[in-house]
Amino acid sequence: MRYTPIPSELFSENRRRLAELMLPNSLAVVNANDILPTNADGSLRLWQNSDLFYLTGVDQEESILLLCPGAHEEKHRVMLFLRETSEQIAIWEGHKLTKEQARERTGIRSIHWLAEFPALFRRLMCDCEHVYLNSNEHKRAVVEVETRDARFIRQVQSQYPLHSYQRLARLMHRLRIIKSPLEVEVMRKACRLTEKGFRRVLRFVKPGVNEMEIEAEFAHEFVRGGGGFAYTPIIGSGANACVLHYLENDQVCRKGELVLIDVGASYGNYHSDMTRTIPVGGRFSRRQRQVYNAVLRVLREVSRLAVPGKLPLQWQAEAEQLVEEELLGLGLLTRGDIRRQDPERPARRKYFMHGVGHPLGLDVHDVGYTTEPIREGWVLTVEPAIYIREEGFAVRLENDILVREGGNVDLMESIPIEADEVEQLMAR
């Protein structure tokens, strides 16, 4: 484990909050993610199931959490099942958690090896009426690969067809969108890593560098700091910045161009998400600065407008209205364009066609009920942009904010964003 262990109090509190939401006489089961194959005998590194990590803090494969708050015996109310190690596993794969290490990391006293799971699970199932099973219910998910949770659901429902089955994701979405102070502190560490990478890049970028070299500068700081990339980085110079999910990162950056950098660090499985747009040659042109400052004004105002009690859909509409006014000021739209527009395809979409923000946490597009009003404790990205394909450049800026009554907290307030500061740092 590269990162400093997160205090087990976080995971104990998360389990307590989940137990309060569960029906009487029920149990819940959460599985680790699979280790996915590549080709031949290759495999990827484990990317842990976010719900399992949220409830246990365990990064190990094949782990299972069994939560049964109303179990007759206290030792059966929270149980963690782990892969038992062996000499062969130790030689080929390295260290696995001991039971004592698992207790310390998770705050769970009842730690078992996986071989014990079937008998203990059956014992509790015979006493329980309701069963919470987990699945990926993110609205934008494209689920084509069968998960460990999906296989478990099929197996359990076949063996125990008469139980009442419940969707655990409904409860997890409600819990995970509100970030505790401990979670926010881990996310701040991810933001600080992102800042280190960005400041390094400001010293590095000049005409002639390749987009992939910029990515490598971030990788240096992230890995050295015990983290990694929260998502595949987007490094788009010139017209590449107009491609929303540009991932090639293989073009030379030329003088006079802007380079859009959408990169975030991950630390302790919690994520940051930042976008900056900087001049390859170290100075913005007059037109580039006009567009840059327009986007920055929108970011400042939209960050303020994300207040508790407001629907995310209303927040999005306010952001779109602000972008529309800036487009008018930049001469990209006219009042006539707006009067003649199709309400289903507003004129601004030519230059700004995506959401202004999303929840952030254990997933970059974190789970939560975004059809409900924003609440204190949400962490949101704020990412307005203007894409001008006909002029061959784009500006997108993005910070992460913690929603608070009385004023939001910018988790990236120390990361350079003003055009003058960017130019000054690049000049050094």
The answer as to whether 1 is a domain residue is no
Indicate if 303 and 406 belong to the same structural domain: yes
Choose one of 176, 205, 223: the last residue of a domain. Answer: 176
AA identity, residue 308: P
Report long-range pairs for 97-101 (Cβ below 8 Å, ≥24 apart). Answer: 97/58, 97/60
Indicate if 95 and 49 belong to the same structural domain: yes
What pLDDT sits at residue 45? 93
Indicate if 110 and 197 belong to the same structural domain: no
For the chain, the domain total comes to 2
Indicate if 201 and 171 belong to the same structural domain: no
Indicate if 87 and 223 belong to the same structural domain: no
DSSP-derived secondary structure letter, 282 = S
Decide: helix, strand or coil at residue 1: coil
Quickly tell me which residue has 């819940």 as its tokens.
28
pTM of model > 0.85:
yes
Q: What is the CA radius of gyration of the chain?
A: 24
What is d(CA 29, CA 254) in angstroms, rounded to the nearest whole number?
A: 53
Indicate if 312 and 397 belong to the same structural domain: yes
Q: In sequence order, which ranges of 4-113 are alpha helices (DSSP H)? A: 8-21, 50-56, 87-92, 99-106
Indicate if 168 and 201 belong to the same structural domain: no
Cβ burial 319-341 (10 Å sphere, 16+ → b, else e): bbebbbebbeeeebbeeebeeee
What the block records as the tokens of 278 is: 């900087």
Q: List the domain range (segments joined by +) for residue 272.
A: 181-427
What pLDDT sits at residue 373? 98
Indicate if 202 and 164 belong to the same structural domain: no
The per-residue pLDDT string of the chain (428 residues; one tens digit each, 9 = 90 and over) reads: 899 999 999 999 999 999 999 999 999 999 999 999 999 999 999 999 999 999 999 999 999 999 999 999 999 999 999 999 999 999 999 999 999 999 999 999 999 999 999 999 999 999 999 999 999 999 999 989 999 999 999 999 999 999 999 999 999 999 999 999 999 999 999 999 999 999 999 999 999 999 999 999 999 999 999 999 999 999 999 999 999 999 999 999 999 999 999 999 999 999 999 999 999 999 999 999 999 999 999 999 999 999 999 999 999 999 999 999 999 999 999 999 999 999 999 999 999 999 999 999 999 999 999 999 999 999 999 999 999 999 999 999 999 999 999 999 999 999 999 999 999 999 98
Phi, psi of 410 (to 5 degrees): -85, 110
pLDDT one-digit tens code per residue, 237-258: 999 999 999 999 999 999 999 9
Indicate if 53 and 120 belong to the same structural domain: yes
What is d(CA 422, CA 293) in angstroms, rounded to the nearest whole number?
A: 12
Indicate if 242 and 369 belong to the same structural domain: yes
CB neighbours of 140 closer than 8 A, spacing ≥ 6? 365
